[in-house]
Structure 1
Amino acid sequence: MTVANIKPITLEEFLELPETKPASEFIQGQINQKPMPQGEHSLLQGALCQNINQVTQPTQIALAFPELRCVFGGAAIVPDVSVFRWERIPRKPSGRIANRFEIHPDWAIEILSPDQKYKKVLANLLHCAEQGTELGWLLDPEDESILVVFSDRRVKEYKDNDSLPILKDIPLELTARQIFNWLSL
């Protein structure tokens, strides 16, 4: 049996490939397709975007985007929720929002799916921190914990009634328990 040589792909070549559903990411020279979101994941993602945007959009502090491809630092990642400070949101010359975000998010939120590897998702958040992201969250619905990645790459676990760190200037207070209580309908 002959094994063909597989030429490594570049970020530029990856960005020319057709989009996949669910989205594929490119980091450290590897293409990885995200798992299809399931019930808990979808509910948490929607609730996070809604709660963040409810306090940030009217006053133009920031904006939370679900499943937004962000290309920066030699990678193309698609955090479950990407939050950008208002003044950093890429815009076209007309003032309309740009389609391509070629900058790091200010706050990246990932929600662990049952088939995802913890290490790979945490590596994405650490890459974000290396490139300037101020805050990263990794929600684990299974054990109802949230790992927070700070800009200095420090990682801390939050559970129960621990108050979660939020981006400066965002008037939002949340605990891990409040977030995971959203799963009870």
Structure 2
Amino acid sequence: MIALNLRPTIELTDEAFEQLCRSNPELRLERSAQGELIAMAPAGSESSRQNLSLSSQLWHWNQQTKLGVAFDSSAGFRLPNGAIRSPDAAWIEKSRWQRLTPEQRRRFAPICPDFVLELKSPTDDLAALQAKMQEYVDNGAQLGWLVDPEMRQVYCYRSGQAVQVFEHPPCLSGEPLLPNFVMDFTLIWD
């Protein structure tokens, strides 16, 4: 990950950032609340496999419950603090998503997901991901999981609570936010 401070030379407005992303679809870009452009390395094959496993479990649960809308790592969200972030997986409760206009849904939706998941790849900095998870919570996320496959840990972020660290959990429950959702981590650890 590299963060570029473009100010005061370039103002990275929502429109300029969207154009930059459209012009460079092969890049994984985010914008910090301070207006920094953040470029991330593409995920390696193993990280991609792990992310698909986690994202598909969330998608499958949501298809069964129809309680909200699930997103993969290509979705960007404009958070209340002005950052545009792309979690590896996310979920938004249906009525919150439906309050957005069709135009807002087509762009970087101006909403913080209710649930976010980040998967640490070997090239990611743990402290930077922990700060990103806290940013999600500070901007309205109710639940967040930061998964570190190398250390076999899951950091659980809940609004208004201290971060919990789970060592090599076989699974975790998303209750009460995600009723009856249990993420199976055994495919990640193996």
Q: What interval of TM-score do these two structures reach, taking the shorter chain for normalisation?
A: 0.7 to 0.9
Q: Which is further off, 50-59 or 104-113?
A: 50-59
Q: Percent identical across equivalent pairs?
A: 21
Q: Deviations over 1:75-122 (max 9, x none)?
A: 0001111111122225555xx993221100111111111111112111
Does residue 1:48 correspond to 2:54, yes or no? Answer: yes
Q: Deviations over 1:105-153 (max 9, x none)?
A: 1111111111111121111111110111001111111111111111126
Q: Paired residue for 1:15, among 8, 14, 18? A: 18
Q: Deviations over 1:4-39 (max 9, x none)?
A: x85253443433424442321111321111221112
**Against the structure 1 CA distance between its residues 130 and 153, is the aligned structure 2 distance closer, same or farther, given a 3 Å change threshold?**
farther
Matched with 1:99 is 106
More helix per residue: 2
CA distance in 2, matches of 1:163, 1:133: 21
- Per the TM alignment, residue 64 of structure 1 is displaced from its structure 2 partner at its CA by 2.1
User: Stretches of 4+ moved more than 3 A in 1?
Assistant: 90-93
| Helix, strand or coil at the partner of 1:89 | helix
Q: Paired residue for 2:130, among 122, 125, 131? A: 122
**Aligned AA for 1:128?**
Y
Greater Rg by CA = 1
Q: Paired residue for 1:24, among 25, 29, 32? A: 29
- Pairwise mapping of residues 53-92 of structure 1 onto structure 2 (< 5 A)? 53-67=59-73, 68-73=75-80, 74-90=82-98, 92=101
**Aligned AA for 2:37?**
I
**Against the structure 1 CA distance between its residues 171 and 114, is the aligned structure 2 distance closer, same or farther, given a 3 Å change threshold?**
same
CA distance in 2, matches of 1:142, 1:169: 26
CA RMSD in angstroms, aligned pairs only: 2.5
**Aligned AA for 2:185?**
I
* Alignment check: 8 A CA contact 1:111 1:138 kept: yes
| Helix, strand or coil at the partner of 2:31 | strand
| Helix, strand or coil at the partner of 2:154 | strand
Matched with 2:159 is 151
Identify unmatched segments of 5+ residues in structure 2.
Answer: 1-6
**Against the structure 1 CA distance between its residues 131 and 84, is the aligned structure 2 distance closer, same or farther, given a 3 Å change threshold?**
same
- Per the TM alignment, residue 44 of structure 1 is displaced from its structure 2 partner at its CA by 2.0
Q: Paired residue for 1:136, among 131, 135, 144? A: 144
* Alignment check: 8 A CA contact 1:11 1:76 kept: no
* Alignment check: 8 A CA contact 2:171 2:186 kept: no
**Against the structure 1 CA distance between its residues 110 and 11, is the aligned structure 2 distance closer, same or farther, given a 3 Å change threshold?**
farther
* Alignment check: 8 A CA contact 1:61 1:170 kept: no
TM-score normalised over the length of structure 2? 0.79
* Alignment check: 8 A CA contact 2:153 2:167 kept: yes
Q: Name the count of aligned residue pairs.
A: 175
CA distance in 1, matches of 2:182, 2:127: 28
